[in-house]
Structure 1
């Protein structure tokens, strides 16, 4: 299952300004604001006659809602090495079905789900983006290993805490009774900047989610009623299946995305 996906979406060349001196490309955030994005200013100057000057525009992270989850969106103005682009980040499984106990492994399907949420929420802004040049910036892949019961699942976690292989070594940071991390990057440590591994038990997280949904469902919130029904069948799988999560970053895989 693709548990988390982060896409790098560049702007169309005709939507960027070029500097003749440096050759660097610039983005007019005002145009992004006119096309529906939330733009804010870090510096507003007021004059005595009531006029105002707006400086240092930027785009904060936005959370665009969908039926079951949300999509994180951020516009980056770029620098001398990286041209302006948009970052899309979400769990495709949660966008599609609310939970991430299991889910799709088709990266094109997952990428299109992220893009479709943006298209539905900000169609005018999408006309500025080059969807033919989308790249994968970060991907988390998660798989299950079936065991007999939850007690054996806990023993698997305990055993893995004593294992290392090649460059993959256990990280003490973030470990719990039901979780073990390998090569987890911490502040000042670059060990896991390209790949991290985590093995954990999903059952306890699923049960907490179901409890929260049951409380909300009692208040007759339609989306939470529907989400609760979607979560129930996932309990048995989560109970006896340790999850193996692989986090890959800084990849350069290309996806040709042609949204309808």
Structure 2
């Protein structure tokens, strides 16, 4: 049984002895010069003094992207704020350990070890001021995928899902703007976010973006392509409809999950199906609503492919022409939706029988099946839960080995009863 931990957002507070608080305890600053310890800072206020020299105040650290072993992470130092000064770090455990997240580890522990080691090597004077043993989780993502039979089926299921809402779960207006991703709930929710998307399409878009950067000499993009533009990874991503739940601090607290990072890893270790159980709880309002739902499924990819094999043509200029194939495909769709007799009625006799002969030449159906296609189609209804069955025993390639950090021994002792930790 497996589920992927695809995102972690953690915070690490500064030690109390270097924090200076206002008299009313409403504002806090860190007694550390960020510039002196190598942090790249920006200024909220820039002005010219009486000598026309530029001055600045209110230095801050914007989120900074940092290259790690295989991928990168982003972090930000909150050095003056109304809450306790801290560092926040965001990353994908899968990408940190193996460069891609088509599939990946169920725990973020080994990725955390790599990220903290990278931070230590880059900013050793920062890390010594951080209370790593009391690091906390702000958000964790768990993702699981349903494998569709075809691209067409995947798109049909997505179109169905776009209109789904149930109980406290409401579809997001954001859904309409992103063709391959569907969102539920508010972006600003303090508890959790849920979405589903076409993993193959997302991967191909990422590869295309990296190829553009690689073409301009971006060395990190060139390196990333070695891991992403890989036949086995691309093939595994095909027809995957991925459901992703981002569980935030408030939701984790309400569900009795430890917020201390190391206690969380211990809890995860002692509850091997923790990620699956949390994911199921997050998505239960959605999947409960599917209980009595059904939808029609069409094998249009297969139909179009069989028509194309027979009727695609090469023009005199050497270009592939799909005009006839697409016309015949549309003829088939018309019979399916309107019925054989209606299409015959509205089409000229010669054209109708010409198209009919061309369809029959493709040898995927008989004339009898075409005459009854509309009634067959009306019976082509599948329970929706059967379509989007999440098989937690089949979320990984059969030969997958979870990557491990070479730095795990440095942080393993922070996990309670760490001798059990993997």
Matched-pair contact (CA < 8 Å) for 2:18–2:32:
no
Q: Which moved more, 1:120-129 or 1:245-254?
A: 245-254
**1:227-246 equivalence runs, <5 A:** 227-231=224-228, 232=230, 233-246=232-245
Segments of structure 2 that go 5 or more residues without pairing to the other structure are 254-258, 264-409, 413-422
Q: Which moved more, 1:109-118 or 1:218-227?
A: 218-227
- Specify which of 219, 242, 261 is matched with residue 255 of structure 1: 261
Q: Radius of gyration: which is bigger? A: 2
Aligned to 2:116: 115
TM-score normalised per structure 1 = 0.82
**1:181-260 equivalence runs, <5 A:** 181-185=183-187, 192-214=189-211, 223-231=220-228, 232=230, 233-251=232-250, 253-256=259-262, 259=411
1:15 is aligned to 2:21: no
Structure 1 counterpart SS, 2:204: helix
Aligned CA distance change for structure 1 residues 43 and 156 (closer, same or farther; 3 Å): same
Q: Which has the higher contact order (CA 8 A, sep 6+)?
A: 1
Aligned CA distance change for structure 1 residues 61 and 210 (closer, same or farther; 3 Å): closer
User: Structure 1 or 2: larger helix share?
Assistant: 2
User: Per-residue deviation at 1:47?
Assistant: 4.5
Cα root mean square deviation, aligned? 2.9
User: Per-residue deviation at 1:34?
Assistant: 1.4
Aligned CA distance change for structure 1 residues 24 and 127 (closer, same or farther; 3 Å): farther
Matched-pair contact (CA < 8 Å) for 2:69–2:114:
no
Please give the alpha-carbon distance, in whole angstroms, between the structure 1 residues aligned to 2:262 and 2:184.
Answer: 32
Matched-pair contact (CA < 8 Å) for 1:9–1:130:
yes
**1:118-133 equivalence runs, <5 A:** 118-133=119-134
Aligned to 1:154: 155
Please give the alpha-carbon distance, in whole angstroms, between the structure 1 residues aligned to 2:120 and 2:164.
Answer: 45
Segments of structure 1 that go 5 or more residues without pairing to the other structure are none
Please give the alpha-carbon distance, in whole angstroms, between the structure 2 residues aligned to 1:161 and 1:222.
Answer: 39
Structure 1 counterpart SS, 2:164: coil
Matched-pair contact (CA < 8 Å) for 1:184–1:197:
no
Query: Size of the alignment, in residue pairs?
Result: 251
Structure 2 counterpart SS, 1:27: strand
Matched-pair contact (CA < 8 Å) for 1:25–1:84:
no
CA-to-aligned-CA distance 1:139-160 (integer Å, 9 cap, x gap)? 2222111222222221221222
Aligned CA distance change for structure 1 residues 221 and 33 (closer, same or farther; 3 Å): closer
**1:69-88 equivalence runs, <5 A:** 69-76=71-78, 77-79=80-82, 82-88=83-89
Aligned to 1:139: 140
Structure 1 counterpart SS, 2:173: strand
User: Per-residue deviation at 1:103?
Assistant: 1.7
Matched-pair contact (CA < 8 Å) for 2:96–2:111:
no
Aligned to 1:163: 164
